[in-house]
Amino acid sequence: MATKKERQQLKAPDLLQIKAYAFGEWVQKNRKIVGLIGGALVVSVVSVLSWRYHLSNERHDRAIALSEIDQLYTSEDLAVEDKRNALMSEFTELNKEKKKLNEDLSELNSNDKKNDQLKQKIQKKTKELEGLDKKSADLIEKAQLLKADHTISQEKYFNFFSEHTKYPQAWRAGLKAASLLAESKEYTKAVEVLTRILEKAPQEDLFYQFQVRLFYINLLEEQSRYEEAFSETDKLLSLTTLDESQKSKALFKKGRLFMHSGNSKDAVLVFDQILNDYSLSAEAQQARAFKALL
């Protein structure tokens, strides 16, 4: 059973209660200061939240804008697909006519008694069939030559990239623009876009630092800008995060650059390195084939 002294000690406030009481008194005496501090904190919190909301809205707006360009690009492809389908439908109808003519000719030719009238029929249907064959060949050629006109989407991708260069969404738009420019053989402009992407993309972003740089090197090679292409290939090979597959691809690119620039000796050395160090890779088979040409 606790003594009277012990019961008094238990009823007495502990250290935390004493400090809390003291803090409460300080707040009562310094209400103005507390109000100012609280107001500053509220303003600070609201500012941070507002900024985050603003950034979120900006990111959302960029995503929508890029999505709209993607949809435009798809619609340009679909327009060509519709034309191609129309040509193929015409081709199918021509094949039906050809089949009917072939059947008629087969029946006419099976007749042993070929008089002048019968021969004229055979000649006429044979010419008709030749005409249909030519039409079919023309339709196939037209279908193969059909290409989507991406002039508008290409410009929009490029403009989006130019306006938002520091954001990953813009790098994707830039890469698409560069691809379309390369298809149009506008290599110089495509290289400029890829250069800007590589400048902005972080070194640790392997997709941009490897895949985009590889594309960049291909365009430099296309323009016979071998000195720049070799420099970029060395940068590619210096990336420490490359796996075996990527290393063999980069090496093969270097070997091909040596070969196309007329340096057969160094090309053979690089191809041999691939065959020795990456013998199971797809590049090893290509290296063997290219080496045989030197």
pLDDT at 274 over 70: yes
Three-state secondary structure readout of the chain: CCCHHHHHHHHCCCHHHHHHHHHHHHHHHCHHHHHHHHHHHHHHHHHHHHHHHHHHHHHHHHHHHHHHHHHHHHHHHHHHHHHHHHHHHHHHHHHHHHHHHHHHHHHHHCCCCCCHHHHHHHHHHHHHHHHHHHHHHHHHHHHHHCCCCCHHHHHHHHHHHHHCCCCHHHHHHHHHHHHHHHHCCCHHHHHHHHHHHHHHCCCCCHHHHHHHHHHHHHHHHHCCCHHHHHHHHHHHHHCCCCCHHHHHHHHHHHHHHHHHCCCHHHHHHHHHHHHHHCCCCHHHHHHHHHHHHC
pLDDT tens, position by position, 191-201: 999 999 988 88
How much is the pTM?
Answer: 0.63
Model confidence over 85-144: pLDDT tens digits? Answer: 888 888 788 788 878 878 777 877 777 666 777 777 777 878 877 887 888 888 788 887
47, pLDDT greater than 80: no
How confident is the model at residue 138, as a pLDDT?
82
pLDDT class of 221 with cuts at 50, 70, 90:
very high
Which of 22-31, 102-111, 182-191: highest mean pLDDT? 182-191
